[in-house]
Amino acid sequence: MTRIRLGVNIDHVATVREARGSAYPDPVRAALLAQAAGADGITAHLREDRRHISDGDIDRLSKELNIPLNLEMAATDEMHIIALNAKPHAACIVPEKREEITTEGGLDAARQHNHLSPIVRSLGAAGIRVSLFIEPDRSQLDAAVSLGAPVVELHTGAYANAEGAEQQRILKRLRDGAAYGASLGLEIHAGHGLTYDNVAPIAAIPEIRELNIGHFLIGEAIFIGLENSIRRMRTLIDDSRASGSGAP
């Protein structure tokens, strides 16, 4: 099976900085450390309320990284212009509500077709690889194709929050969605809420090419350091991929 790329989301380094309004800790420094530890890409979400990552962070990430930057963004005029200026390798379009603690579900690409279509087209024309963060439903995957997005990121948040039979049911939806999406020619990514304990079954889904992981890795870095937390995640992903079983 192909090796999965690991995108490290550094938003929550900026969350700690913003908790005090200080200049540290610097998320760009974390991104460079993640790059040195073998991350295949860096993900950052510039939220409308700038609660963690700032415009200046995106500027510096664009200039200083040697690995691809994946900008997570809401489909707004403001973010559209910022993305066109920053020209990240990829832009992942996510739903965004001001009052949410984190991204709470996938984008409704099927219902928002007319709103999303010009943004997806314009980012694509600027050479930015567009990804849509969606639930693993056929209607959403079909909508991604009709919008012309080359990539989808399947939302794993509900899987991460569930347990037992419910988690297995959601895992099956993710497996079926990944297979269906790949059969349509979409590149399949996944992310949200992934940890050492729940990553293996997701990494074993053969169609998945990239995982984006942040909150857990940054939290774990408090105890073992960022490089170690990334390296351990990398090993768990590679081991699961090699065995193909996804057994934890």
Task: Let me know if 155 is a catalytic residue.
Answer: no
Spatial contact of 144 and 111, defined as CB atoms under 8 Å apart: no
Residue 215 class from Cβ within 10 Å (0-12 exposed, 13-18 middle, 19+ buried)?
middle
Q: How far apart are CA 112 and CA 109, in angstroms?
A: 5
Least distance in angstroms from the C-beta of 93 to ligand PXP: 9
Task: Let me know if 113 is a catalytic residue.
Answer: no
215 binds ligand PXP (CB under 6 A): yes
Least distance in angstroms from the C-beta of 75 to ligand PXP: 13
Sole binder of ligand PXP in the list 198, 212, 229, 240 (CB under 6 A): 212
Question: Any residues with CB less than 8 A from the CB of 226 and at least 6 apart, and which?
Answer: 30, 33, 34, 37, 217, 218
The binding track of 99-118 with respect to ligand PXP, each residue x by CB under 6 A or -, is ---xx---------------
Q: Which is nearer to ligand PXP, 74 or 182 (CB)?
A: 74
Of the residues 45, 52, 80, 155, only one is catalytic, namely 45
Read off the tokens for 12: 């929550």
Stretch of 114-122, 176-184, 190-198, 220-228 lying at the interface with ligand PXP (CB under 6 A): 190-198
Query: What's the distance, CA 25 to chain centroid?
Result: 22
234 binds ligand PXP (CB under 6 A): no
Residue 172 class from Cβ within 10 Å (0-12 exposed, 13-18 middle, 19+ buried)?
exposed
Interior/surface letters 19-50, b for 16+ CB within 10 angstroms, e for the rest: eeeeeeeebbebbbbbbebebbbbbbbbbeee
Which residue, chain included where needed, has tokens 């024309």? 125
Q: Which is nearer to ligand PXP, 7 or 182 (CB)?
A: 7
Stretch of 22-30, 55-63, 79-87, 213-221 lying at the interface with ligand PXP (CB under 6 A): 213-221
Residue list 191-210, contact with ligand PXP (CB under 6 A): 191-194
Binding residues for ligand PXP (CB under 6 A): 9, 11, 45, 72, 92, 94, 102-103, 133, 153, 191-194, 212-216
Instruction: Give me the active site residues, please.
Output: 45, 72, 192
